[in-house]
Each structure stands twice: as structure tokens, then as C-alpha cells.
Structure 1
Amino acid sequence: MATAKKRSTSKAGGVRFSEDTSAHSHVHFDEKLHDSVVMVIPEVDGNFLVKVGFLKIQHKYEIVFTLPEVPALGRDVCPAPVPNPHLSVTDIRHAAEGGLQVTCEYLAHQEGVLQEDVILVSESKEDASVRVRLQARVMDRHHGTPMLLEGVRCVGMELEYDSEQSDWQGFD
């Protein structure tokens, strides 16, 4: 009686499942999936869309990305003084490989696909600016912890007010 030898040949979208049922179950990911980084996408109007992936609601993140060189801005670049309670630029420097390395802090304040804008301006050239739109997919606190992209780091969380956890007894 001849027995057929089972071997792993299934592949689907970079994930390989072992067909051997006697071994422990393992999922293998292609190496190219591990180098997920923040994506900077130039828009036709000269502005940029920055996709930062999945984040968790009520968490604060440090996000670092590099914009390509923007000659219109010149060498002296700073954030425009437009207040945004959820997104703030903390550092802008010229990257060694060219372009601008931007560091910002972002508070994921609501679930869903969120977009926040920051405007970078030239300190020496009047009316020279570029808009950077940060896009994040924010999940609620009951859906686990997202795997953060390279360039995104959780730096804290905001405490949520929950009236059931209050120890205040009320008025007598």
C-alpha cells in the first residue's frame, strides 16, 4: 500500500499554512510584510498624504516620517501656528538622505478613518507652504492592540472618564 506524503505547497497573499496535521500549527509570513513603514504619498497639488496605519483610540503616538525635498519651502521650515488639539509637530529637520524628517504627536481621539492636517511653512519665503494630511485608522479599545508601522511609537494613553468607576457618593 503506497502512502502519499503530505507537503506544504499552499500560498495565499504572502501567508503559508502547514498542511501537516501532526505538527503544531504555524503561520509563516513572507519577509516583505515585516518592513511596513509609514507611507508618504505626494498629491498632484504638491501636498502630501501620510498613511500611518492602525492606531488605538485614546492613545498618543509619536509619528516620524520623511517628506521629499520641497524646494519652494527653502531651508528654514516650521509648522504654521494653527492650533490642532490632536496633532502637533514637535520637530522638523533636514534628513541626511535628503528631504524633511518630520516628528509629530498624534492623539487618536475617535474611532474610524481619521484625517488631520498640518501646514508647514517657510520662515524666509512669504506664502510658501505645504499641507501634510495625516491619515490613521483608529480602532476602539476593545479590539486588541494594533501592530504599529515603522515610524510610529505609542508614547502614552489618555484616561477615559467612566462614570461607573467613580467613587463619588453624591450629595446627602
Structure 2
Amino acid sequence: MYTEVVVLSSGSAAKAGAVSFSEEPNTAIAAAGTPSHVHFEEKLHDSVVMVIPQHDGNFMVKVGFLKTQHKYEIVFDLPEVPSLGKAVCPAPVPNQHICITNITPVAEGGLRVTCEYMAHQEGVLCEELMLVSESQEEVCVGVKVQARVMDRHHGTPMLLEGVRCVGVELEYDSEQSDWQGFD
């Protein structure tokens, strides 16, 4: 028996992937009493950073799984926002965990945004960035960067395309200190 399942992913560009199940006998598996196989012919989900337009004109950027105490470079493309114009810069809003390092226009329209992000604690974290127009006062677009951050000791996540680890903060353990204290 051979069954094929086709999975379509949601998003701007749908991709098809197939999973096939066959019940051909396999000597290694037949001994265990489970004669089924699963074959992955293509990736079943997009492995890129997702940019999701919000109803208020801002954007949500989902960057997947990261690890605490790791610094990441995140690159994503925003679609064209006509009200911003061509000259765009990051708003001078301080955020100790994320900062925009580069904004460049994309040939097809829109902007390529590069930022650095320090994953500082476990959980689903959402950091906010703001892009402002250099030519029109009061025009801005908000970008929320959402990450699922896991503890540094719980495995290694497969990073999405557009996310790259650029550093690790050393873990400080007071038990390993050579300092003898005050006399």
C-alpha cells in the first residue's frame, strides 16, 4: 500500500511537499513489528524568517527558535511602504536587546533590514523596532520581532534562513571564581 500526502504551506508563496507512507516489508523494522516507512521528499515548511503585515500598517517578524545568551544577526525584507519614502532610518528609541545595524532598499521595492538581537531570557519574546522617514516628519512604521527563546542548555535550534548566530555571552558561575573574599 502506498499513500501520498501533499502539504501546502500558507504564506505569500505556497510550496508543496510530499510525505509518502509505504508498507513494504523491511527486515530491520519487521523484526520490531512495525513495517511502515515515512519518506520526506521536500521540506514541509518554510525555513525563512516570516514577515507578517498587521492591520495597523506595522509588521510582525517571526524569527523562530533561538538560545538564551546568544547574539544573532537577523535579516528580513519589508514590503514597500509608500508613506515612508526612500530615505528611511531607525528611530532613536533605545532597546538593550535589539538594534538595527543596516537598512537598504531592495531592487524589487521595499527594504532589507539587518539587526542584531541578544536573546536574554527564555520564552516567547517580542522586541519592538521603529523605522522613520527622513523626509516626512511623523511618518513611522513599527516592527515587532518575535522569537521563541530556549535555555542555552536545552539543545541547538535549527536557525531560519535570515538568522545567524554571531556570538555567545560567557556564562558566569560564582562557584568557579578564584576570588577568596574579604579577610
Q: Which residue, 40, 44, 56 being the options, matches 1:29?
A: 40
* Alignment-derived partner of residue 93 in structure 1: 104
Aligned residue identity for 2:159:
L
Q: SS where residue 83 of structure 2 aligns?
A: helix
Within 5 Å, give how 1:7-22 maps onto structure 2.
9=3, 20-22=25-27
What CA distance in whole angstroms lies between the structure 2 residues aligned with 1:18 and 1:170?
A: 67
Partner SS state of residue 72, structure 1 = helix
Alignment match, 1:118 = 129
Unpaired stretches in structure 2, ≥5 consecutive residues: 8-17, 30-36
Could you tell me which residue of structure 2 aligns to residue 3 of structure 1? none
- Give the structure with the larger strand fraction: 2
Q: What is the deviation of 1:28?
A: 3.9
Q: Give the one of 141, 146, 171 matched to 1:160.
A: 171
Once structures 1 and 2 are overlaid, which stretch shifts more, 31-40 or 13-22?
13-22
Normalising by structure 2, we get a TM-score of 0.81
Closer, same or farther: CA 99–137 of 1 in aligned 2, 3 Å? same
Decide whether aligned partners of structure 1 residues 163 and 30 sit closer, same or farther in structure 2, where only a CA change above 3 A counts.
Answer: farther
1:43 alignment counterpart: 54
Aligned residues: CA RMSD: 2.4
Structure 1 contact 73–129 (Cα < 8 Å) conserved:
yes
Which of 69, 83, 100 aligns to 1:58? It is: 69
**Identical aligned pairs, as a percentage?**
74
1:82 to 78, 93, 96: 93
Q: CA deviation at 1:150?
A: 0.5
Per-residue deviation, 1:160: 2.1
- The farther-off stretch of 80-89 and 8-17 is 8-17
CA deviations over 1:21-62 (Å, ceiling 9, x no partner): 4358x8643413364100000000000000000000100000
Residues 88/27 of structure 1: CA separation in 2 closer, same or farther (3 Å cut): farther
Partner of 2:15: none
**Superposition deviation, residue 113 in structure 1:** 0.1
Where relative contact order (Cα < 8 A, 6+ residues apart) is larger, the structure is 1
TM-score normalised to structure 1 length: 0.86
AA at the equivalent of 1:22: T
